[in-house]
Amino acid sequence: MTQTPSHFDLLIRNGTVIDGTKAPRFDADVGITDGRIAAIGDLSQCTAVQTLDATGRIVAPGFIDSHTHDDQAVLSQAAMPFKISQGVTTVIAGNCGISAAPLRADMDLPMPLSLIDSPPEGRFTTFAAYLDALRATPSSVNVAAMVGHSTLRAVTMSDLDRPANDQEIAAMQALVEEAMQAGAIGMSTGTFYPPAVKATTEEIIEVGRPLSARKALYVTHMRDEADKVMDALEETFRIGRELDIPVVVSHHKVQNTSNFGRSKTTLPFIRETMKHQCVSLDCYPYTAGSTMIRTDRGMLEGRVLIADSQPHPECAGRDLDDIAKEWGVAKDEAARRLQPGSAIYFLMDENDVQRILAFDETMIGSDGIPVGESPHPRLWGTFPRVLGHYSRDVGLFPLETAVWKMSGLTARNFGLHGRGTLKVGHHADIVVFDAATVRDAANYRTPTLPAEGIDCVIVNGAVSWRHGTHSGARNGQVIVRRDGVPPRTH
């Protein structure tokens, strides 16, 4: 029988623990030593270097953001206030086919790759160099990163407006292999975006061959989330079967008015497929998405709010309709003049959002883009919005389920061993919050307001955020894949 330690580096007293497994909450103290959880239980007789009183508060695993574009932000904005302030302790980077490596200094990056780009002199030519930079200058959050297929296309192909040839596929395959050896957790695609629109299913399968032996992840912003969403799901699942690897459907949605309600079809199909292969999905808790400024009419159907524009920075925070009227041009022409940049698109139905959120296996990801002064409010508000609005106010699911969707479930699906649940021996990534007051303050008008009700955030044992203030701690770690260990089994 293991004896409970009597002294800790950090002791969280009198809290109510929600451990990230969906188990009922319970009252307990949590003791932390050397960056890991050393004890959970009645520790009233114990001492500690630092003690936090969590009376009346929930003590939960730090949240894991399953879908981010924080690849460069974890270096250039290493304090990561927009994530740490809402209880996020780990980010999954390299999504939608876009990654910070490998790149060349002499290349011009097309949108949306340039949304996360650093100056040419700061680019990383190998995935290993990128992860080494993160280790040398840690951020406030842990980082698990994927290599992006669109990035691979941009670095190997002179013409992106066609399928890759055999030589280019071989070159991309070699880069995937290098990323896997460096510790990438998988490969992502973004076949919705121009740099990868012409990539065939077969190209993706062949480029992804190095994933198979390692059971690494295939994560995708699918080719279509509107009229052809079912075809896109079929393609995604086929890639997973051909490579015999786990699949993650990124930010699952059904968009445009003609598709409202189609989650009633997509979710049962996903559930049935889960019986036969390893499939996961995530979503964000908003009816608007955000991406590069596009001119296709399907994306311009609803309200469009400009988040950032390189040629017209003065238009950030304004509606595209108003800009078009002011300029005396059509909506698509105004969008063209505003490129390159990013925008917020109101394309989804609240009923679909709730249905997908409530789906048992749905993880939570922000999909925030950390650039400009008017980002989508999901960058700052995703996780408290799930806790406050959807769990507490709407009653979509119990708080234990909400926490699980943002921690234990995500750690399981992405293979983040030793994280995501409060368990002795696990890394001490912890958030302390007030269940009665936690809420997102960020909105479309003021999108960069920190969440309310987040008392304290601890990353690998270090208090990083407390009472609305960053402590200055940058205790994040680089999380790498464990070879041959699948995130989960069926």
pLDDT given at position 484: 53
Sign of CA dihedral 150, 156, 157, 162: negative
Contact 404, 21 (CB under 8 A): yes
Contacts of 469 (CB under 8 A, 6+ apart): none
Contacts of 199 (CB under 8 A, 6+ apart): 149, 153, 163, 164, 189, 191
Residue 387, Ramachandran bin (φ over 0: left; ψ between -120 and 50: alpha; else beta): alpha
CA distance 324 to 278: 45
Contacts of 195 (CB under 8 A, 6+ apart): 97, 110, 113, 150, 153, 154, 160
Whether this model's pTM surpasses 0.75: yes
Pairing state between β 142-145 and 26-33: unpaired
Contacts of 17 (CB under 8 A, 6+ apart): 25, 26, 27, 28, 30, 40, 58, 59, 60, 422
Instruction: With CA atoms as reference, report the closest residue to 377 among 388, 390, 391, 366.
Output: 366
Contacts of 396 (CB under 8 A, 6+ apart): 354, 357, 358, 390
Angle (CA) 315-316-317 rounded to 5° is: 110
Instruction: With CA atoms as reference, report the closest residue to 76 among 64, 95, 62, 93.
Output: 93
Q: Which CATH number fits domain 7-60+422-470: 2.60.40.10, 2.30.40.10, 1.10.3720.10, 1.10.10.10?
A: 2.30.40.10
Q: Give strand pairing partners of 281.
A: 249, 362
Contacts of 454 (CB under 8 A, 6+ apart): 85, 86, 87, 384, 431, 432, 433, 438, 465
CA distance 125 to 101: 6
Peptide bond just before 102 cis, omega within 30 deg: yes
Residue 135 phi, psi (nearest 5)? -70, -35
Alpha helices in 147-274 (DSSP H): 149-156, 166-182, 201-207, 209-212, 229-243, 263-274
CA distance 472 to 146: 27
CA distance 473 to 459: 9
* Domain segments of the chain as ranges: 7-60+422-470, 63-299+341-414
CATH superfamily to which 63-299+341-414 belongs: Metal-dependent hydrolases (3.20.20.140)
Give me 464's structure tokens.
Answer: 């990083």
The one-letter amino acid code at 160 reads L
Q: Is 351 helix (H, G, I), strand (E, B) or coil?
A: helix
Contacts of 485 (CB under 8 A, 6+ apart): 215, 415, 417
Residue 20, Ramachandran bin (φ over 0: left; ψ between -120 and 50: alpha; else beta): left
pLDDT given at position 490: 35
Q: What is the tens place of the pLDDT at every residue in 223-282?
A: 999 999 999 999 999 999 999 999 999 999 999 999 999 999 999 999 999 999 999 999
Give me 160's structure tokens.
Answer: 């992106």
Residues of the chain with pLDDT under 70: 1-2, 117-121, 483-490
Instruction: With CA atoms as reference, report the closest residue to 365 among 70, 67, 82.
Output: 67
Contact 359, 267 (CB under 8 A): yes
pLDDT given at position 334: 96
Contact 366, 429 (CB under 8 A): no
Work out the number of other CB atoms within 10 angstroms of the CB of residue 319.
14
pLDDT given at position 422: 98
pLDDT given at position 103: 94
Q: Is 242 helix (H, G, I), strand (E, B) or coil?
A: helix
